[in-house]
Amino acid sequence: MQTIRLSAKGQVVIPKEVREEFDLHEGDLLSVKIEGDSLILRKVKMGNWRRWGGILKGTSALKDHEREHKEEVEGEKGA
């Protein structure tokens, strides 16, 4: 286990070895979950979302999907 420091802005640096192991790159999204006294970071798998986002951009289908996804994520936060 490695120890990292929290900056004055609330930022942390994920060690290079961890970024490589989890294939993390600048701009990747991470979800944060609280379990007891622990924080759990998970890489958000975008999969086809980016591809479909480009195809559906500006359509009501994309807006509906974004709303549903937001509700799903907010529901996970409450769980």
Going from N- to C-terminal start, the domains of the chain cover: 1-45, 47-79
- Name the average pLDDT for the chain: 82
Three-class SS state of 72: helix
Q: Tell me how far apart the alpha carbons of residues 42 and 28 are, in angstroms, rounded to a whole number.
A: 10
pLDDT, one tens digit per residue, over 45-60 is 776 556 556 666 666 7
CA atoms within 13 A on the CB side of 69: 11
Q: Which class would CATH give 1-45? A: mainly beta
pTM of the model: 0.54
- The 3-state DSSP class for residue 46 equals coil
Sign of the dihedral defined by the CA atoms of residues 44, 47, 50, 56, in that order: negative
Q: Could you tell me the CA-to-CA distances from 28 to 7, 10, 41, 46, 62 in Å, in that order?
A: 20, 18, 12, 9, 20
